[in-house]
């Protein structure tokens, strides 16, 4: 598989399809997006997509998996960070929100995938494929959940119910996938400001004790 200069390999072609699919799913939603839409966005036809992915559902599943893998990998370094749980949480939350913005289309697909699974609008076979993927997603969620539980035990956070607090926290941290849109001339530092505000809001919501902030 020798490649000339400027040519693209198979994986690049797959990656292009995944990016285009994620963008389409973001713009229209999974159900409304047709395979032809994705192909058109690529300047190609269905043949190319079905050559790499067996079905629309599998294509979506791959976008989903990609989104989860990215975010999972991003916070991995923080997991055994020393120091108080709040500090670890702040680091994780910051990375999480930043990634929600930077990989918005994929993360939006993850959200829709979770919704689809909860609503059970998947075929039986797709259902356990998604089940596997959601296991990772759940594991990821539990990392945060345990962290805020630990922070509460350390007296750095205060909330009544862990499950509800966890839900609200994730809603906050994920929310940029709904309302963030890039401005022209926006720098990476501008985005950092946004991330800071989201994290600060979540921190306040979780009842962070004054002084730990």
Partner DNA sequence: TGATGAACATACTACCGGGTATGTTGTCAA
Partner DNA sequence: TTGACAACATACCCGGTAGTATGTTCATCA
- Please state, in angstroms and rounded to a whole number, the distance separating the CA atoms of residues 3 and 18: 21
**Paired tokens of 100:** 């929600």
Q: Judged by CB under 8 A, does residue 34 bind a second copy?
A: no
Nearer to a second copy, 84 or 205 (CB): 205
> For every residue of 8-72, which 3-state class applies, written as one string?
CCHHHHHHHHHHHHHHHHHHHCCCCCCHHHHHHHHCCCHHHHHHHCCCHHHHHHHHHHHHHHHHH
Q: Judged by CB under 8 A, does residue 92 bind a second copy?
A: no
Residue 57's binding partner among a second copy, DNA, none (Cβ under 5 to 8 angstroms by kind) is DNA
Among 15, 29, 36, 197, binds DNA (CB under 7 A): 36
List the Cα angle 124/71/98 in 5-degree steps: 135
Among 178, 182, 186, 190, binds a second copy (CB under 8 A): 178
For a second copy, the binding residues (CB under 8 A) are: 27-29, 31-32, 115, 119, 121, 159-161, 164-165, 167-168, 171-172, 175, 178-179, 193-194, 196-198, 200-202, 204-208, 210
């Amino acid at each position: 598989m020798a490649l000339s200069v400027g040519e693209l390999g198979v994986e690049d072609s797959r990656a292009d399809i995944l990016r285009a699919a994620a963008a389409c799913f973001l713009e229209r939603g999974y159900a409304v997006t047709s395979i032809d839409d994705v192909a058109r966005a690529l300047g190609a036809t269905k043949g190319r997509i079905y050559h790499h992915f067996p079905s629309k559902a599998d294509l979506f599943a791959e976008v989903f998996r990609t989104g989860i893998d990215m975010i999972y990998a991003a916070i991995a370094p923080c997991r055994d960070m020393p120091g108080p749980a709040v500090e670890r949480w702040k680091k994780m939350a910051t990375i999480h929100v930043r990634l929600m913005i930077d990989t918005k289309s994929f993360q939006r697909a993850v959200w829709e995938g979770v919704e689809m699974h909860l609503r059970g609008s998947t075929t039986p076979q797709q259902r356990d494929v998604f089940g596997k993927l959601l296991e990772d997603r759940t594991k990821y969620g539990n990392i945060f959940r345990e962290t805020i539980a630990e922070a509460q035990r350390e007296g750095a956070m205060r909330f009544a119910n862990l499950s509800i607090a966890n839900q609200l926290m994730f809603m906050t941290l994920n929310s940029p996938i709904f309302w963030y849109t890039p401005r022209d001339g926006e720098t990476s530092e501008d985005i950092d400001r946004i991330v800071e505000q989201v994290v600060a809001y979540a921190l306040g919501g979780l009842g962070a004790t004054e002084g730990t902030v």
